[in-house]
Structures are given as C-alpha cells and as structure tokens.
C-alpha cells in the first residue's frame, strides 16, 4: 500500500503533528512515517486516539495519537487536570501522587505529567524512584489526595508503556469519572497542554512513605507464631527486572522470613527486560530462571512479580518434588481458603465478611464462600470494580480478600488495586502455615479440590494487531453473539449471559432475566449442563480477544489427581475445538 492510498483522515492527523506545536524530533519521525513506501506504521500510529480501558491508557511507545509519547501523556494529564479542577472545585488545594516503573520512558513521562499538574495549580507528590503500583494506590489514601497516576504497562512487552489513573479512594477510575475524563482529554489540543509548571508544587516521596506502606503490608499476617517457627522457609523471589526489587524482599523480611533467595540476573532493573521475552509471571518462560534457582537451592516456594509489582506468580513442588506453576485461579483459591480457614480458627468470622471475584474467575470461589457463610460479589474484569464494591460496602460489610484469574490478588483494602507486595508476604505465610501443619502447598491445593470440587482452567487469547485486527476482533464477538455454540465438549449449553445487553437466558427453560451489573460490557459467557464455563471478551488494554475456559470434575483422593487433571485437559482441548480455536 502506498502513501497515496492512505486514508485522508490519517494524513490529516499526521499533518497536524507536522505543523503543530510539537518538538523537532517528533516532527521528523512523523515525516519519515508519511514518506515511507509502506504506510502500515503510519496508519497504526494515527488511526485512533488512545483511550482509557480496564487498565487505563496503554500502548506502544512512539510518535502518533495511538502511541505512548509525551503528547498523548500530556493530553491525558491536561484532561485529567481539567476534570479534577471541576470535580474538586470546592477544595483549596488538589493533590495527586505520581509513580513510575522500570520501563523505558517511564521516568520521562512521570516528570512530564508532574510538570503539567503543577502548571495547572495541582500539588504533586512524585516518588523519587520506581515504586510498585500498590504503593501509589496506598499513598493517595494516606496523603488524602484526590487522584494519582502511575506510568507502567504492567506485564506487557518492552515496546509498551502505559498510564494508570486513580481516584481519591486509591482505586483506578470508574464511571462516571472515566467517561468524563475521556471527554475532557478528547477536547485537549497540543496548544492547550501546560507543560512546565513550577517545581515548588512538586514534593518528592521516598523512604518515609515506604515505611508507612510496609507497616500496613505486614498487618496482613494471621499466623505470626507460625512464621517464627518457620522463619527459615526457603523463598526464591524475582522482580523480573521491575519495581518489586526493593520492597518485596523488605516486606518478606519484615514478616519474619530470613531466607529470601534472589535471582541476581533479574534483580537488574531494566525496561529492556534482558532475560525474558515477556515480563509476565503468567508465562512459564518468565519463571524459568527463578525455578532453576529454586531447584539449585532446594527452595520451598517460588514467587515472581511483574514490572509494576501488582501481579503475583508462584511455583510450588508437586508430589514428585518437581516445581510446577500455579495458575491465577488456583492462587486465588489458595489465598481465600487460607484466609477463611485461619479467620475461622481465630474466631474472626462474624458473618459480615465478603470476598470479591471477577466474572471470568473460577466458580469454585463461590462454592468456598457459600459453604463458609461468607458473602461474595462477582464483578467485571479489573480491580477498579473490586474497589467499587469495597467503597459501596464501607462500614457495612468487611472485605477479607478478592482476586482475578490474571494473577492478581488484594488481601486487604488499604490498597485498592492488585497488590503483589502484600500478596507475596501473605503467600509466604501460607506456605509456612502449610509446612507447620506437615503439608505442602500442593497438598493444600488438593485439599481444596477434594472439599469443594475439582476445577481446571485455561485462558486462550488470539492476537490481532492494528486497525484491521481491531475490526477482526469485533467481528469475532458478533459471530459468537449471534451464533453461540450448541454444546461444548459434548455437554449442551444451559445458560448464555450477554453483558452487552445485561440479559441472561436459560436455554433449558427458555426463561430470561436481567444480569445484576450497573453498566454493560462486551463480554459473553456460555455455561454448560455439566458445569463448564467459557467467557469471551476483547482485552481493554491489548490487541487480543480472550477466551477463559473452566471445566469441572471431582477429586476423591490425592491418588486420582493426575488422572483427573489429564481428563480435564482433554476436555478443555475439545472445548477449544468446539469454539474454533
């Protein structure tokens, strides 16, 4: 395709960047895109404007309206500033916290945003160096601020960066504020961005905030006596080149663990992530070095956090002494099983406790909650919806844990987002608790399955990049919405839930009812007669369509585990075939 075939709207946008108030190097890069014989990169850079999704603003770094750069960051910050000044007009001073991770340009984008907030008369609290996402959420509440941002693309590849925005309760922004901010951002022209505010409006945050945060982290402990007995538990931890490098080992030490084993190659802070292709603890390759270190040292537990330290991945020893990866659903089950069991033991379950999961997370969470008299809530993907439930139940019910299948958990509510720092501390305690009771984490997981039923999950995603990819993903959703499968792995569909229309249809009885959610979402769910569940949704932050598959079975004894796992793996394979994957 030649430049002459480039859509006029794309050329008009590119020309605005060539003639507008952009710096010389940016204009030169845009000029090279325009003059290139292949216009694919030009179209991808300008075919849309980045918008807030489930995780905020996120995209590939580079020039253009669909890229992460100082101008898209600037427009987001100016728009957020404008909205904050409207939403908190009665306050004498508005304050925001700014954090950033290890990614290339994260510091530049953070300083750019700080200057813009300052120029708009907003007081800025900028962290002195990279910090975990959960600490930014904590700092907003601790300092009584109205908003905050962190520059991070979470677990995405190195080409990406992102911008997560938070409200005054430390939660990522939800409706109506997210829509209102998008509207404000869409009005911002490059000439409207106030780039260079006075440095007097910027306060640097450092060790003092770390101390306050760590005090809260260690308050998660329910078994301090057991930690004292198991203080030599061997824990391998890797930050995968990211922000957990400092605070997570500190948190484990503060909890009482004195045998934290590092992975030196991955303690190197780098936005290039030199030891991995993707810095995602969901990916087996990202855990390879840590597991090798665990084998070498005969460790009890392996833990990893992603670059902004909100996601937690773990590996445990199976009954053959081999380290295996634990998926995100299993991690949530282990956390909630421990929290509920320990609270029962300590007499801390009073009847007003509740847990929260996302709709794509294992239904075993519901079974665990129901059988223990604990309330539960189902929410959309994204911890901002978990935080919304907490906000609505403040002073009414007690939050004791919540998580999602994508390796995120939030043990306590002093942070209102995924929190790998506190989760690492608590998971280490759970491993100590199991060991103190003569059990392994693997045996503990088997106990959960024998008590509440066996569940096997798999997430499959299809990547489609660029404008054409976005259109293909949209068509895939239309197809599944209009022509849902009749059966999955031999079991007929019993229920279809469409969160775009907020309608649930029972295919057995023919009846319909409303789905109890405040807003719509582009998500479909298929439930089968035998208890399987498939959820389909486009990612809000990546060029993917995701399929979440869960199949059920029963486990009567540990000796059956391998057989049941193999059986359910085959069932998942068949479900994928039936979905055309």
**Which residue is associated with the tokens 């057989």?**
563
Q: What's this model's pTM, rounded to 2 decimal places? A: 0.94
Q: Cα separation of 378 and 361, whole Å?
A: 9
User: Could you tell me the two tokens for 296?
Assistant: 């070498």
Give the span between the Cα atoms of 361 and 515, in whole angstroms.
Answer: 17
Edge-to-edge strands, sheet with 312-317: 260-262, 235-238, 301-305, 312-317, 323-326
Q: Which residues, including other chains, have CB under 8 Å from residue 3's CB and lie 6 or more apart? A: 11, 34, 35, 36, 37, 39, 42
The CA distance from 280 to 72, in Å, is 25
Q: For residue 370, what pLDDT is reported? A: 97
Orientation angle between helical segments 133-143 and 420-436, nearest 10 degrees: 110
Instruction: Determine contact, residues 135/105, Cβ cutoff 8 Å.
Output: no
| Strand partners of residue 204 | 126
CA 4 to chain centroid, in Å, comes to 41
Match 């961005």 to its residue by tokens.
193
pLDDT at residue number 478? 95
Q: How far apart are CA 313 and CA 262, in angstroms?
A: 15
Residues 387/171, Cβ–Cβ less than 8 Å: yes
At 524, is the secondary structure helix, strand, or coil?
strand
Strand-pairing partners, residue 550, are 457, 533
| pLDDT at residue number 1 | 39
User: Closest by alpha carbon to 278, among 127, 407, 457, 149?
Assistant: 407
Cα separation values, 191 from 23, 27, 30, 52, 381, Å? 12, 15, 18, 22, 36
154 among known catalytic residues: yes
Neighbour count for residue 380 (Cβ, 10 Å): 23
Spans of the chain below 50 pLDDT: 1-3
Taking the alpha carbons of 360, 364, 368, 370 in that order, is the dihedral positive or negative? Answer: positive
Residue 376 CA to residue 365 CA, distance in Å, equals: 8
* CA distance readout (Å), 40 to 3, 7, 37, 468, 577: 9, 11, 9, 10, 33
Give residue 469's pLDDT.
Answer: 87
Structure token pair of residue 38: 């292949």
Q: Which two tokens stand for residue 573?
A: 């394979």
CA of 131: how far to CAs of 100, 126, 157, 280, in Å? 6, 10, 19, 17
Question: Which three-class secondary structure state does DSSP give residue 350?
Answer: coil
Give the up-direction half-sphere exposure of residue 138: CA atoms within 13 A in the CB hemisphere.
Answer: 27
Give me the pLDDT at residue 53, please: 57
pLDDT value of residue 55: 60
User: What radius of gyration, in Å, describes the C-alpha atoms of the chain?
Assistant: 24
Cα(469)–Cα(391) distance, rounded to whole angstroms?
37
pLDDT of residue 541: 66
The residue from 65, 106, 137, 154 that is catalytic is 154
The continuous run of DSSP H or E covering 391 comes out as helix 383-392
Strand, coil or helix: 155: coil
Q: Which of 58, 14, 5, 34 is nearest to 539 (CA)?
A: 58
Residues whose CB is less than 8 angstroms from the CB of residue 450 and which lie 6 or more positions away in sequence, other chains included: 555, 556, 557, 558
User: Which tokens belong to 114?
Assistant: 């700080």
């Amino acid at each position: 395709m030649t430049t002459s075939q480039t859509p006029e709207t794309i050329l008009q946008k590119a020309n605005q960047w060539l003639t507008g108030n952009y710096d010389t190097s940016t204009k030169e890069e845009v000029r090279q895109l325009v003059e290139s014989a292949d216009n694919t990169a030009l179209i991808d850079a300008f075919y849309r404007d980045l918008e807030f999704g489930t995780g905020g603003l996120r995209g590939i770094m580079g020039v253009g309206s669909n890229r992460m750069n100082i101008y898209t960051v600037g427009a987001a910050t100016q728009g957020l500033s404008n909205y904050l000044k409207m939403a908190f007009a009665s306050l004498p001073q508005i304050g925001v916290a700014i954090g950033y991770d290890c990614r290339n340009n994260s510091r530049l984008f953070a300083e750019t945003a700080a200057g813009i907030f300052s120029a708009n008369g907003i007081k800025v609290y900028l962290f002195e160096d990279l910090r975990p996402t959960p600490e930014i959420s904590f700092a907003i509440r601790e300092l009584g601020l109205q908003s905050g941002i962190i520059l991070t693309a979470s677990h995405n590849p190195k080409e990406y960066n992102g911008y997560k925005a938070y409200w005054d309760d430390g939660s990522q922004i939800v409706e109506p504020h997210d829509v209102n901010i998008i509207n404000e951002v869409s009005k911002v022209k490059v000439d409207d961005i106030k780039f260079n505010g006075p440095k007097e409006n910027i306060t640097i945050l450092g060790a003092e905030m770390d101390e306050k945060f760590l005090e809260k982290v260690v308050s998660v402990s329910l078994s301090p006596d057991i930690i004292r007995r198991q203080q030599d538990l061997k824990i391998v931890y890797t930050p995968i080149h990211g922000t957990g490098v400092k605070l997570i080992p500190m948190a484990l030490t503060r909890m009482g663990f004195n045998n934290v084993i590092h992975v030196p190659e991955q303690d190197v802070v780098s936005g290039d992530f030199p030891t991995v292709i993707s810095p995602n603890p969901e990916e087996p390759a990202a855990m390879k070095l840590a597991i090798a270190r665990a084998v070498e040292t005969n460790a009890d537990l392996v833990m990893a956090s992603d670059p902004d330290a909100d996601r937690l991945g773990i590996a445990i020893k199976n009954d053959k002494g081999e380290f295996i990866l634990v998926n995100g659903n299993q991690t949530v089950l282990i956390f909630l099983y421990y929290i509920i069991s320990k609270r029962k033991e300590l007499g801390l379950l009073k009847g007003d406790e509740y847990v929260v999961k996302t709709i794509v997370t294992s239904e075993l969470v519901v079974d665990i909650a129901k059988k223990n008299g604990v309330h539960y809530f189902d929410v959309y993907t994204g911890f901002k919806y978990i935080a919304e439930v907490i906000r609505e139940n403040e002073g009414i019910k007690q939050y004791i844990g919540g998580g999602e299948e994508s390796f995120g958990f939030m043990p306590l509510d002093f942070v209102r987002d995924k929190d790998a720092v506190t989760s690492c501390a608590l998971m280490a305690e759970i491993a100590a608790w199991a060991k103190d009771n003569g059990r392994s984490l693997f045996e503990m997981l088997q106990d959960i399955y024998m008590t509440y039923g066996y569940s096997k999950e798999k997430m499959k995603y299809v990547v489609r990049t660029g404008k054409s990819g976005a259109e293909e993903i949209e068509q895939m959703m239309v197809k599944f919405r209009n022509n849902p499968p009749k059966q999955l792995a031999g079991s007929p569909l019993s229920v279809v839930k469409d969160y775009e229309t907020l309608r649930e249809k029972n295919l057995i009885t023919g009846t319909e009812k409303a789905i109890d959610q405040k807003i719509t979402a582009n998500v479909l769910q298929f439930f089968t007669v035998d208890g399987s569940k498939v959820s389909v949704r486009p990612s809000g932050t990546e060029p993917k369509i995701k399929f979440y598959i869960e199949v059920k079975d029963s486990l009567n004894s540990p000796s059956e585990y391998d057989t049941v796992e193999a059986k359910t793996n085959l069932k998942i394979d068949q479900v994928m075939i039936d979905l055309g994957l």
